[in-house]
Structure 1
């Protein structure tokens, strides 16, 4: 381990008074440097010189990058397992949805069709509309978003903020609902709620 020793957040920039963002970068670089040293990672985190207020980690060896990757993946292992559990629950109900994945510590759900959103609402215990209703009409789509959000809250205790994207005649794109992302624990409760629902007959 040959990382440069840092004993104070002001070692790199001197002891003069620092702006708040510079002090935050200095403190963060010290914390990261010490954590990497404790983990045996040859990575020197330093307050930025060319970009004051940022943390400079410079170049690292492939071995250090690989070790850091393993540590990060280990830290998000639980979230990855929950995203996989949710994927299986969605697949079990033949819901036409993108595979959920971990991004920035949350579970991304992505965009789904209005018919899929309607089915998901029903699986979560929400009311179903008149079968003759055209879901892609703006008023009906807004009602669908409300029904889905309410059913999601009742079944998971969490919040969903879906965003409606109307169909586009110019580009021939169908109407979609963007579910964005949800916290990991909410994703766990969503998977549990779907697992408890009986599967529909083929």
Structure 2
């Protein structure tokens, strides 16, 4: 390469929707907008570039403002759910549990220390008794990971929660931690129910 070539385009291997599916989606979107009093916003099927997509024609400021309010109203419930999750986490003294945040259509969690993960496992029903060193080593961290995974699954939450175990890093002196992935709103409700149903300290 000479350095002047354009970067290669990323190729998606995901299945692309058909023209009919895209057209049906455009009709559905229009029906929702029309029901909300936004019938002047018309989704249009666009397949000029070979891949069918949905294009919104130019809309004025008033229609854009109303559309923004509609989207915000649709996500209000998610923000209320996140607030309840934060209160439930504080009620159980999970000090370094990351504050849940709305991230698109999901709720992002984050990293927890091994000690907090062990406490969360106990809150969700895991048997107590595991003594942890100040800086847990790999076997201890893996045991806590397994305990939390089992407790989440037993509470009908864990099968839907991605988890990654990060061990102690001597080079950067990073403490071991367990990363909890983003969860759907339905799973967040189950987690909230499990936390609210557990006895607080």
TM range (shorter): 0.7 to 0.9
C-alpha contact 1:24 1:53 (8 A) present in aligned 2: no
* 8 Å Cα contact 2:135/2:175 also seen in 1: no
> How has the CA–CA distance of structure 1 residues 60 and 132 changed in structure 2, closer, same or farther, with 3 Å as cutoff?
same
In the alignment, the residues of structure 1 paired with residue 113 and residue 181 of structure 2 have an alpha-carbon distance, to the nearest angstrom, of 13
Query: Within 5 Å, which residues of 2 pair with 1:121-132?
Result: 121-128=121-128, 130-132=130-132
Which residues of 2 match residues 33-52 of structure 1 at below 5 A? 33-41=30-38, 42-48=40-46, 49-50=48-49, 52=51
Aligned mates of 1:152, 1:193 — CA distance in 2? 9
Any unmatched runs of 5+ in structure 2?
Answer: 1-15
Matched, 1:86 2:85: yes
* Change over 3 Å in CA distance of 1:142–1:32 after alignment to 2: same
Structure 1 unaligned regions, length at least 5: 1-18
Residue pair 2:111, 2:179 contacting (<8 A) in 1 also: yes
Q: 1:161: which partner in 2?
A: 162
In the alignment of these two chains, the number of paired residues is 182
CA RMSD of aligned residues (A): 2.7
Q: Distance in 1 between matches of 2:57 and 2:138?
A: 51
Question: Scaled by the length of structure 2, what TM-score is found?
Answer: 0.75
C-alpha deviation, 1:88, in angstroms: 0.3
* Counterpart in the other structure of 1:13: none
TM-score for the superposition, normalised by structure 1: 0.74
**C-alpha distance after superposition, 1:23-62 (max 9, x if no partner):** 2222222322343234232323112234632211254333
Shift of 1:116: 1.2
